């Protein structure tokens, strides 16, 4: 390999890595269909990270419904105004295939014998819940917008 071709290849690798470093995190936008009520209510103001999991209806994508996971040290990961399901939520999120889920159990009210992993429908979707969600692609929210 000549010095010139080696320099060109090294330059190309540096350029590709540089562009990858400056790539923007994709934004997922949609109305909140449901959320995990146990994770939402069981938040401590401590040194342990709190988690919030929501299902968003995202128009214009191949998958209509996605699962978004928020993790943070505060007691509020998502503003209260999004929990009625009428205001679109926009978050910077990366695709995370490790937390994809099958058909979620959607409920209209919380009960004592509720199974973990159930999602409480927001007010906007209680009257007309999604017919069938077969698979939820998971996204890890890295920042709020």
Q: Residues 103-120: pLDDT tens digits?
A: 888 888 887 777 777 899
- Residue 102 to residue 7: CA distance in whole angstroms: 49
pLDDT of residue 59 exceeding 60 = yes
Q: Residues 60-82: pLDDT tens digits?
A: 767 789 999 998 887 778 888 99
pLDDT of residue 145: 45
The single residue listed with the structure tokens 């939520």 is: 89
Structure tokens at 56: 């968003």
What is the domain partition of the chain in residue ranges?
25-144
Question: Model's pTM, two decimal places?
Answer: 0.77
């Amino acid at each position: 390999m000549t010095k010139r071709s080696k320099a060109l290849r090294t330059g190309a690798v540096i350029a590709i890595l540089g562009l990858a470093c400056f790539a923007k995190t994709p934004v997922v936008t949609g109305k909140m269909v449901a959320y995990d009520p146990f994770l939402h209510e069981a938040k401590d103001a401590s040194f342990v990270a709190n988690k919030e999991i929501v299902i968003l209806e995202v128009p214009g994508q191949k998958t209509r419904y996605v699962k978004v996971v928020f993790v943070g040290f505060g007691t509020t990961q998502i503003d209260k105004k999004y929990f009625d399901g009428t205001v679109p939520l926009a978050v910077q999120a990366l695709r995370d295939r490790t937390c994809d889920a099958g058909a979620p159990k959607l409920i209209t009210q919380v009960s004592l014998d509720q199974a973990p992993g159930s999602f409480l429908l927001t007010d906007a979707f209680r009257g007309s819940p999604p017919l069938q969600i077969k698979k939820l692609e998971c996204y890890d929210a890295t920042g709020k917008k």
